[in-house]
Structure 1
């Protein structure tokens, strides 16, 4: 069996399962389709996603999740309809999803608080409550009483609020250090 631009997505997924394609083979396939034009119906503006969609995408654990669930999360496309598309179009969409998730992850990583050694020894890592913790923080920050409202909020609003808090905290830490140094003289 050969995979071509005409191969159906259903047939491609069967080949993946039958031939146990690994990361190396899938990476080679993605390298071939990344320049394939993204079909208009698959063109998703990731900056307009709501926080809940981003959470669902980030929680996918397997390649299989990405191969099927990302279409439903982002396009509300049922599996039966998905299987009628070509593998090239679907894989190009998955490449788009992957690169956009990497971009968003980099944004959040850049504003991730780096704890001090003392905070690590005190157990700060136990205070990481994942997506719900982020939703709870944003709800309290914005005076929202229903967490579901946060999950329906554009993720960029939440990111920008986190970035503002990160920058304010960093300034306050730097300011305290300046004052401490001044008082030592």
Structure 2
């Protein structure tokens, strides 16, 4: 299980001059000369596996959808996406951690599950508020 920080580093490695070397450095702490001694099929097979896993993890995070009201959308709520740092900052605040760098060492799945729980709770509270708003008009 990799940390959220390593996951962010892997996302950023895609833009590196040598993405394969960068990923192997992040995950296995290999130096370029060590990578050059590895079997090329093993390296590319591993890289393909990593790419698929990062894509799957990104899809999980992307699937967490908040149901925004039209008022929130027109006010620009979607502009409040602060990327990976926003996730670090949110989790640090949620857990009472004063240093966001400490969150980089937390397993990504733990952060994802907290985010999923908070999203489901927020969506429930929105639906409940809507029910309370509709209720008086039913009488």
TM-score relative to the length of structure 1: 0.69
Deviations 1:31-69 (A, max 9, x none): xxxxxxxxxxxxxxxxx1011100111123437543221
Gaps of 5+ in 1: 1-47
Number of the residue aligned with 2:36 = 83
Other-structure match for 2:130: 177
SS in structure 1 opposite 2:13? Answer: coil
1:115 Cα shift?
Answer: 3.5
Partner secondary structure for residue 59 of structure 1 = helix
Tell me what 1:13 maps to.
none
Does the 8 A contact of 1:113 with 1:166 survive in 2?
Answer: yes
Map 1:153-168 to 2 at 5 A. 153-168=106-121
Larger Rg: 1
Which residue number corresponds to residue 101 of structure 1?
54
CA RMSD of aligned residues (A): 1.6
Q: How does 1:9-158 map to 2 (within 5 A)?
A: 48-62=1-15, 64-158=17-111
Instruction: Give the structure 2 partner of residue 26 of structure 1.
Output: none
Tell me which of the two structures has the higher relative contact order, counting C-alpha pairs closer than 8 angstroms and 6 or more residues apart.
2
Residues 79 and 112 of structure 1: CA distance in aligned 2, closer, same or farther (over 3 Å): farther
| Alpha-carbon distance in 1 for matches of 2:28, 2:125 | 42
Deviation at 1:134, TM superposition (A): 0.8
